[in-house]
Amino acid sequence: MKRLWILLLTFGTLFSGVALGTEDTVVYDPHGKRDPFVPLVTLSSRDASGLIGIESADDLKMEGIVYDPKGSAVIVNGSVLKEGEESGNLKVLSIKPDGVLFLVNGSEEFRLLYREEAKEEAKNEN
């Protein structure tokens, strides 16, 4: 019985070495598209470079809202901010499904994600 274990251990070691030595390397070719294996948001890409130089609410370009009662986020000027976060002269006070309350240079400003004119145009097109 002891010889059988030694024999199995020897062959197992030999075959595992052969399998490890012939491992193929797979390289992903995106064909000009974004690599899905690279994360979209990283610690280094989360900097708020688009928020430098904000002086008033007119300088803000809201691009989207991710609303969740447990923790919402807003995309403004290419940067992702959560409720309570600050960047320079800008602070996100609260996020609602239709807009965000900002504090810009000490003055509060509620910005709608979609302006009323855009809503009216959408109604007229239908």
Domains of the chain: 1-126 (2.30.30.830)
Please say whether the beta carbons of 89 and 104 come within 8 A. yes
Torsion, Cα 118 119 125 126, to 10 degrees, reads: 160
pLDDT at 39 over 90: no
Question: What is the structure's pLDDT at 123?
Answer: 62
Q: What would the mean pLDDT of 108-120 be, rounded to a whole number?
A: 74
pLDDT at 92 over 60: yes
Among 85, 86, 82, 108, smallest CA distance to 95 is for: 82
Q: What would the mean pLDDT of 10-14 be, rounded to a whole number?
A: 65
Q: pTM surpassing 0.75?
A: no
Q: What would the mean pLDDT of 63-85 be, rounded to a whole number?
A: 90
Question: What is the structure's pLDDT at 6?
Answer: 76
Q: What is the DSSP letter of 58?
A: G
